[in-house]
């Protein structure tokens, strides 16, 4: 599928449409079958014990998958999550950014299905994985 948005366009879209996370997330690269997004970890993302919280990791996976889909279908802001399964595999390193690598499995007319691996920079093995399905709004005539 031909790309509809590049890295600068995705980062601009993120800053305009999601100001609540614009200082935390950065699209780093479009991959052959997905995308890589960085979560710039700060105190807002931590839970007791000094590790990144589950909600922060969910947000990273959800937004990274959303942007992976938009890179391929264009800036359709009303594309929404309809299903998610997430596994937390190991504790991320303290005070280290997280990277989310998304793989787009299928994009149809109405649904998109993706997998995401979340990595703690400098740590071997994924810290979490997610599988999400998104609903794509009907094309406007």
H or E element in which residue 58 lies = helix 54-73
Distance CA 45, CA 54 (A): 9
Position 33 scores a pLDDT of: 93
69 with 109: CB under 8 angstroms?
Answer: no
Question: Three-state secondary structure along 104-129?
Answer: EEEECCCEEEEEEEEEECCCCCEEEE
Q: Token pair of 55, please?
A: 């909600």
Name all domains of the chain by residue range, CATH numbers in brackets. Answer: 7-135 (3.10.129.10)
Is the overall model pTM greater than 0.75, yes or no? yes
Position 141 scores a pLDDT of: 46
Position 140 scores a pLDDT of: 56
Q: Is 12 exposed, middle or buried, given 0-12, 13-18 or 19+ CB atoms closer than 10 A? A: middle
Position 110 scores a pLDDT of: 95
Mean pLDDT by 10 residues, the chain (141 residues): 92 92 94 95 87 94 97 93 97 91 96 97 94 89 46
Sheet with strand 80-88: strands edge to edge: 25-31, 34-39, 98-107, 111-120, 126-135, 80-88
């Amino acid at each position: 599928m031909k790309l509809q948005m590049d890295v600068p366009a995705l980062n601009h879209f993120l800053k305009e449409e999601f100001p609540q996370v614009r200082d935390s997330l950065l699209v780093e690269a479009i991959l052959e079958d997905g995308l890589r997004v960085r979560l710039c970890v700060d105190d807002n993302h931590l839970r007791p014990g000094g590790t990144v919280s589950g909600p922060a990791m969910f947000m990273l996976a959800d937004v990274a998958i959303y942007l992976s889909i938009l890179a391929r279908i264009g800036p359709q802001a009303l594309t929404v999550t309809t299903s998610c399964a997430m596994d937390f595999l190991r504790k991320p390193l303290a005070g280290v950014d997280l990277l989310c690598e998304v793989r787009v499995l299928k994009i149809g007319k109405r649904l998109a299905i993706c997998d995401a691996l979340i990595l703690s920079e400098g740590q071997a093995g994924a810290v979490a994985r997610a599988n999400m399905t998104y609903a794509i709004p009907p094309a406007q005539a």
